[in-house]
Amino acid sequence: METTHELREKCAVFGVYGSNIEAARLTFYGLWALQHRGQESSGIVSSDGEQLHRHIGPGLVANVYREEDLQQLPGSIAIGHNRYSTSGGAHDQHAQPVLKRDRQIAVAHNGNLPITRTLQAFLQKHGIVTSQLNDSEMMATAIDCFIAEGAELPEAIEKTYPMLQGAFSVVAASTHQLLAFRDRCGIRPLSLGKLGDALVVASETCAFDTIGATFLRDIRPGEMIIIDEHGVTSRQIVKGEQKLDIFEMVYFARPDSLLLGQRVNQVRENLGRELAREYKIDADIVVPIPDSAIPAALGYARESGVQFEMGIMKNRYIHRTFIRPTQELRERDLKMKLIPVAESLQGKRVIIIDDSIVRGTTLRKIGEMIYGAGAKELHILVSSPPICYPDFYGINTPDAKDLIAATKTVAQIRDYLGVDSLGYLSYDGMIRATNLPKETFSTSCFDGVYPIPVTEATSAKPGQHAKASRRAVA
């Protein structure tokens, strides 16, 4: 998505508490499993019982940490963060976890606070300049203010909580405690696991599988858990109402993760099956855009009987273009990332399955590649409805002008892509695929309904025609 003037992030968080483990090393592996959630920078903070130690750096987890770095992160408590920057390139200025109180507390945040007026006023009242702070840093600084007034970390979080207006799944650490808490709607995922005597918190359960931990439960919306020598203590700070961002199911989460008890891979296959029921196309092969659309394409093939074919190959050592910060970098990556298999495509009537269309620029170039490889026909099916509204909860879609479905009808999008036909999954079909009630989700990108207010950020509104054309095919 396009670079914006405000720092908005969708990231990964991880935390571990245990008396007989090398916490930083476990956190390293946990962050590795969560690499898909952020590729701009990474950081780990550990506690040796007396103070916190931090290592941060730009780039991928594999490049940020060396053996000597992990050896400089002692202790049995650690939290980590992968950053997905939406305000330009990677640098250390806003890397997380954020350290405060002379290395006595650390905070790592996944999500976005679109309304920060209350936080800013509070900090300014305490003589703190906020102009250079992003939302995560303001959150950490407010917590630090309450600690300076004598509060312990759990109480400081509770006092800060009413000022946090937006989406947040947060891990925090002191020298002797690990804490985790979510916004009242649970927009972003956050789960609790167990590894021997250790307790683990992660953005997604795939991180538990990587380190051999067992999933225990999701941290509830509006809940804070405190992990220390006494075990796990739960505090329900506010009444929660589960509204997980359904885009986690559609695209962002790793397919082997569990979200609300559902395996993401199965949900995505169900999305493809729903597509097959809604769109019966006379074609020779169905081809996924790798990797995220593979389950949906398999579901379509199994339901429709159209042959599944890996007609596009992916160089797995290139970043996900969705979360690269500039259009120039995305286009350069695409040329190295996806290669059509001419023998599979030549002379064929091809159905391409993609999980979503944001701007359409990438898919247009892929279409040109498919035709260039000799495809006879090209039909594009999308395993989600049109993205018609901006996201203010952490995915970088802040401007309606960046969303092709906000300004064009389905027929116009088809013509822009230059393909024979285009179809989107219906809203109801998307919900059915999850096997959960629609009330469980935030579907704001698709219907414009925001369960948590975004008052300061809703100046851009897409045209209503985009919503009306959601179930159309062209």
Tell me the catalytic residues. 11
215 CB-contact burial (10 Å; exposed 0-12 / middle 13-18 / buried 19+): middle
**Are residues 52 and 23 in contact, defined by beta-carbon separation less than 8 angstroms?**
no
Task: Report the chain's terminal Cα–Cα distance, integer Å.
Answer: 25
In the block, which residue shows the tokens 């999308």? Answer: 382
**Are residues 58 and 6 in contact, defined by beta-carbon separation less than 8 angstroms?**
no
**Are residues 103 and 55 in contact, defined by beta-carbon separation less than 8 angstroms?**
no
E strand intervals along 141-272: 165-174, 178-182, 191-195, 198-202, 214-218, 223-228, 231-236, 244-245, 258-259, 262-263
How many other CB atoms are found less than 10 A from the CB of residue 230? 8
Residue type, 271: L
Please give the order of strands across the beta sheet that includes 231-236: 98-100, 105-115, 165-174, 178-182, 223-228, 231-236
The structure tokens listed for 77 are 């408590």
